[in-house]
Amino acid sequence: SGPALKLLRERGVGVVLVGMGTIDAMEPKGQLHLGMKEKLLHTKDPRYSPAWIWGMSQMRGLTAATAEPAFFQPDKVVSTGGSKRGIATAAAGIHDNRFTGIVPVVAPPLGNPGTPAAIIGTEPSWINGVDAAFLNSVDPGVRKSLEDRRDRREDTRLTLSEVNQQRWKPAEVKELSQILWNASRITAYLDEVNRRGLEYFYCVGTNDSVTPALLQLGRKYPDFPVYIVPGGQHGGPRDAGFTRHVTDEPGVVQNFESFCLHHFFGLRGLPDTPQISAEMKDGYLVVRTLYEGSSPLKENLLSWSYDRHAPYCLPFEYDKWESTEMQAEDHNTYSARIPLPAKVLSIQFLSTHVDWENGIPFFVSSPLSERKVFP
């Protein structure tokens, strides 16, 4: 549906749809996730993890398609998807050189998705305290939706009791948290995928704990190709206040089509990453964005959030964002001011833009940035 169907009908692009549910629902239903956990428990091998299983599903979808050459003869292959399929897209693009382009949505280029700890019972205590207080403050229906989501996420995770029974060492527990999701973290393979010529563009949200390390991403990889949706959330339950799903954002939907028009047909290039800077002046944070692309940007917005909660805790997903239009200072510099209310300690901010080339729009953002505010 959507861009994929349009590309099929108007451009003759072959489409392979890969259905993917939670691992407990994947064949053999009710057994796959248990076998995965059992293997991981005894081998400590991160290949027995959702990142690999989802990724292999994407690879098998391509293998099945190529088995029907009368209908599917790939020269270039682009994969996309959100959440599980976003992680699958990243893993497939990293490890299977048949994929030549990827557009992961709400998948982490850096950091652990959803929780900093791979093993239940090893999460930082502050997260449990903050989440408990938050759940006690919301309506019972919202609390149930959030608890159900937590339970679904925990179905595929080992517990501290289980690994203790197998006499795991503390260092092994810590190491698993660091490497479990490496298969789908593209920043761990940038030299390799860039050398291979893989093209990639990520679409993520500021309020998504599945992509928790956006500040670190901007600091370490300021040119990383990404569109960050201000206030964008993961695909959580709408009755629990998840009203801005990144996967449904018009810019994210458009970006997949624009990426394909670039990758398959060369109808436009990929946008450069705008670079953002800020300075305190006259009671405001004055923010400037510099864009090195050849065409002036459109729909230039500066967005910010005051005193954000830390990633991974529930309130982080509900932080409020504000926006204002940026003004062009010259053909490639845009600026706007953020007011500095009393008692504000920090501001996170980014700019979003639309890059038009050959009549084709591409939504792009600066890196996410943060400025500490001192009295």
Please state the pTM of the whole predicted model: 0.95
* Portion of the chain with pLDDT greater than 90, in percent: 83
What's the pLDDT tens digit per position in 249-280? Answer: 999 999 999 999 999 999 999 999 999 999 99
Task: Give the pLDDT band (50/70/90) at residue 18.
Answer: confident
Residues 6+ apart with CB under 8 A from 109: 90, 185, 186, 187, 202, 204, 211, 217, 221, 224, 226
* φ and ψ at residue 217, rounded to 5 degrees: -60, -45
SS (H, E, C) 215-243: HHHHHHCCCCCEEEECCCECCCCHHHCCC
Here the tokens at position 191 are 């030299």
What's the pLDDT tens digit per position in 287-329? Answer: 999 999 878 899 999 999 999 999 999 999 999 999 999 999 9
Here the tokens at position 56 are 């292999």
What's the pLDDT tens digit per position in 101-124? Answer: 999 999 999 999 999 999 999 999
Lowest mean pLDDT of 145-159, 240-254, 270-284, name the range: 145-159
Whether the Cβ atoms of residue 220 and residue 128 lie closer than 8 Å to each other: no
What's the pLDDT tens digit per position in 28-64? Answer: 887 888 899 999 999 999 999 999 989 999 999 999 9
284-290 and 298-306 beta bridge pairing:
unpaired
Mean model confidence pLDDT for the chain: 94
**For 293, how many CA atoms within 13 A lie in the half-sphere containing its CB?**
24
